[in-house]
Structure 1
Amino acid sequence: MSASSTPSSAADRYTLYGAPGSGATPVHAALTLVGAQVDTVDIATWEGEAERERVSGVNPMRQVPALVLPSGELMTESAAILVWLADRYPHAGLCPAPDHPLRARYLRWMVYLPAAIYSLFWVRDDPSRLVPDPAAQPAMLERSAERIAHCWHLMDAQIDAPSPYLLGDTLSVLDLYVTVMSRWTPCRTRFYREAPRMAEVVKRVDADPRLAAFWAARFPFVPAWEDGNA
């Protein structure tokens, strides 16, 4: 999943909005692997209205990640950013090329993740957005967690057996995306049970030496990510 030419990643400088552990994390991991320079602005939009207001001047949706490109253009939507970065830096081998036989499979799952799973966290972060009755919110949280687990199970059942990554021999942005999201609700222990084939992939990405310093600084693995008590 590589090509012969690439822009100069070392000369490229990005500004990334989004707190450690957020949807900005796989984007930051991808930027780390391509060797780009990154300025971070930590904003945890799930912590409340004040944090969402901080990012409103950058992204009117008041969401992260938001990425300012070297050109000054703004990109939002984590999947779109990851696809764009992987295509921009083909030397890093982070995605199948447009004419590669795995390209359709790659795009399918890159869209599936935000459509089926990531989108549920918008209401989970602030249940009152869709469920104004506080008494009804625990049921919504429980059912949305079950839906997320079910979607992981469906993906695991349909994706080809990883060997050793989700798209074959090379780590891709799809692996980064799944690795980060699998630490979110309902957390890793449940993820391992629902998605046993993908479990081995995320453990491999957790241990990738190229990302060791990045994980330690931006999303350190702690027992709470396993047992769901984060």
Structure 2
Amino acid sequence: MTYTLYGAAGSGSVPVEAAMTLIGLDYRVIEAVTWEGEAERDKVAFVNPMRQIPAMITPEGETITESAAILIWLADSHPEARLGPGLDDPRRAQFLRWMTFIPASIYSMFWVRDVPSRLVGDDAAAQAEVRLRTAERIAKCWGLMDSQITPGRFLLGEDLSVLDLYVAVASRWTPRRTRFYAEAPRMAEVMRRVDALPELQSFWSKRFPFTDDA
């Protein structure tokens, strides 16, 4: 009953790996650092035609792509782990809202900023402007989310969820945690708590080691 996950340290596969770690699933990671070139993207092509990570193959042989979809599926498939509100939970609507807000409004920016030439060609000045504006957009989105969410101990209240894991990883990408803390002070306290979870300390050190700014 082994899950296979195509991913990379520091990437969008990390919250999925963290969730599987907390649930106690048997899984293996096939490293595919897709931002390092065609050969790495080709590793993923047969499971995800977009050649993007994460992509997961379940023990039954089903392929699931998109980090938010995988995280929601894991939470729903393992209710005993209490990593997401169920269908009849009053927190369910906000859970789905923010689980889709992150990839739609924040994660999607990285397709643009990681390789600006995709949209603006080889113009160095235009590429620099794209990186600047996408960083500002990401920061603004974190601030918008912070203004509309009322955390408890965790983002949805007193229970840890895959939403916390998702934000804990995505908030460490550009413009990084220092800016995130400034834009999203209420969520900042929750992320510090997620960073410090004893059951994930070994995991974080292996898959996304902390730095002074993250």
**2:27 aligns to what SS in structure 1?**
strand
- Cα deviation for residue 45 of structure 1 reads 1.0
- Structure 1 partner of 2:32: 43
- Cα deviation for residue 42 of structure 1 reads 0.8
Is 1:112 the equivalent of 2:101?
yes
Cα separation, 2, equivalents of 1:31 and 1:40:
11
Read off the aligned partner of 2:29 and give its amino acid letter. Answer: T
Q: Write the deviation string for residues 63-82 of structure 1: whole angstroms up to 9, x where unpaired.
A: 00000101011100000000
Q: Tell me: CA distance 1:134–1:49, structure 2 relative to 1, closer, same or farther (3 Å).
A: farther
Query: Which 4+ residue blocks in structure 1 deviate beyond 6 angstroms?
Result: none
Cα separation, 2, equivalents of 1:58 and 1:144:
29
Match of 2:128 among 117, 135, 138: 138
Q: Supply the RMSD in Å over aligned alpha carbons.
A: 0.9
Matches within 5 A, 1:199-214: 199-214=188-203
**1:22 aligns to what SS in structure 2?**
coil
Cα separation, 2, equivalents of 1:125 and 1:190:
19
- Structure 2 partner of 1:6: none
Is 1:163 the equivalent of 2:152?
yes
Is 1:23 the equivalent of 2:12?
yes
Structure 1 unmatched runs, 5+: 1-11
Give the share of equivalent positions with the same residue, in percent: 63
- Structure 2 partner of 1:78: 67
Read off the aligned partner of 2:66 and give its amino acid letter. Answer: E
Q: Write the deviation string for residues 123-180 of structure 1: whole angstroms up to 9, x where unpaired.
A: 22211111213321000000000000000000000011x1110011110000000000
Cα separation, 1, equivalents of 2:135 and 2:25:
35
Is 1:178 the equivalent of 2:167?
yes
Read off the aligned partner of 1:174 and give its amino acid letter. Answer: L
State the TM-score, normalizing by the size of structure 1.
Answer: 0.90
Cα separation, 2, equivalents of 1:47 and 1:154:
32
Cα separation, 1, equivalents of 2:61 and 2:173:
31
Cα separation, 1, equivalents of 2:145 and 2:95:
12
Cα separation, 1, equivalents of 2:116 and 2:130:
8
Cα separation, 1, equivalents of 2:39 and 2:146:
37
Cα separation, 1, equivalents of 2:140 and 2:36:
26
Cα separation, 1, equivalents of 2:115 and 2:38:
10
State the TM-score, normalizing by the size of structure 2.
Answer: 0.97
Cα separation, 2, equivalents of 1:33 and 1:98:
21
Read off the aligned partner of 2:38 and give its amino acid letter. Answer: E
Match of 2:50 among 36, 61, 65: 61
Cα separation, 1, equivalents of 2:19 and 2:38:
29
